[in-house]
């Protein structure tokens, strides 16, 4: 299917951070403002959710019912219990530059380090106080970048040696590539990979496929763009909502591209009634299994 299939009409305020867990045949994701983690089982076509005490920007699997989650006040180890409850244990506190901030986009690198970026809650104020940090299983935190407005689009090449990162704020809309030292987790040699300003949509969440191509949600344009490793636009796939937020490969053969989305408040949604839903596409390309957080 090249068209987008709705798998869950969640009406999420901000659906983000989809992660496919192959041993469960399940997709997990978050609804940031609702403070929920969601799960959809492909084998049973059922969904369930867990409430968390804070807004959660991004997650990565540890194993079993254990997850790592970047929330408002820090990075936590989360247990998702069978009864729908959750337990949280702080791994590393957030070092925010100011008040009213939270974590946003993030994921594990190929070696199992967890990287996540922070942002000021009111994006309209365009405060460049966001930062990206790296976390290991011992709770150690290392700052990598600062002076960002909305860090987003984090992804890694198949060999882990290239890191991608964007700033999705309307005043920036750039995607950068870095050389990434897989032994130390250090990004260097920052360069512009794609300037999204002349293209439809702002850069949001991203994924990398088995060919090393970079897929990124074109927020506000209802598109998912695929760029080659050289930064050339290869194709764009449409979803029936204006604000796709993040994409991830999953399915039995990792050949399904799952896409979460945003349901904006205070606007007419008659032309996009499925805003905030989760969608599946078959782009004819396979992805790469998402690394687990190494504790």
The structure tokens 């070696």 sit at 111
Looking at residue 2, its pLDDT comes to 58
Mean pLDDT of successive 10-residue segments in the chain (295 residues)? 87 98 98 98 96 97 98 97 95 95 97 98 96 94 96 98 98 98 98 98 98 98 98 97 98 97 94 97 97 95
* pLDDT for residue 1: 43
Cα 42–Cα 80–Cα 278 angle in degrees, nearest 5: 40
Please tell me the distance from the alpha carbon of residue 96 to that of residue 217, in angstroms, as a whole number.
26
Nearest 10 degrees: CA dihedral of 112, 227, 230, 232? -170
Cα 19 versus chain centre, distance? 8
pTM: 0.97
* Residues 117/151, Cβ–Cβ less than 8 Å: yes
Distances (CA, A) of 158 to 208, 212, 258, 277: 7, 6, 19, 28
Q: Which domains does the chain have, with CATH numbers?
A: 5-281 (2.120.10.30)
Catalytic positions: 204
């Amino acid at each position: 299917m090249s068209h987008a299939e709705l798998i869950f009409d969640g009406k999420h305020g901000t659906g983000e951070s989809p992660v496919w867990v192959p041993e469960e045949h399940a997709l997990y994701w978050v609804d940031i403002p609702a403070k929920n983690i969601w799960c959809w089982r492909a084998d049973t076509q059922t969904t369930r959710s867990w409430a968390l005490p804070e807004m959660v920007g991004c997650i990565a699997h540890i194993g079993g019912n254990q997850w790592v989650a970047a929330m408002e006040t820090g990075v936590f180890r989360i247990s998702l219990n069978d009864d729908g409850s959750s337990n949280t244990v702080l791994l590393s506190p957030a070092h925010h530059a100011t008040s009213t901030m939270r974590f946003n986009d993030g994921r594990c690198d190929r070696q199992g380090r967890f990287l996540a970026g922070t942002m000021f809650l009111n994006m309209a104020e365009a405060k460049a106080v966001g930062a990206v940090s790296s976390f290991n299983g011992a709770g150690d935190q290392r700052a990598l970048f600062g002076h960002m407005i909305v860090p987003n689009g984090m992804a890694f090449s198949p060999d882990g040696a290239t890191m991608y990162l964007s700033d999705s704020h309307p005043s920036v809309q750039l995607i950068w590539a870095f050389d990434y030292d897989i032994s130390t987790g250090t990004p260097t040699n920052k360069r512009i990979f794609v300037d999204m300003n002349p293209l439809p949509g702002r850069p949001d969440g991203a994924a990398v496929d088995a060919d090393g191509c970079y897929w990124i949600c074109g927020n506000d344009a209802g598109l998912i763009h695929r760029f080659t490793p050289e930064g050339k636009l290869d194709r764009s796939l449409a979803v029936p909502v204006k604000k796709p937020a993040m994409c991830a490969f999953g399915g039995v053969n990792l050949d399904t591209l799952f896409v979460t989305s945003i349901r904006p408040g205070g606007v007419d949604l008659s032309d996009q009634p499925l805003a905030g839903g989760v969608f599946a596409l078959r782009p004819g390309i396979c992805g790469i299994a998402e690394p687990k957080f190494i504790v």
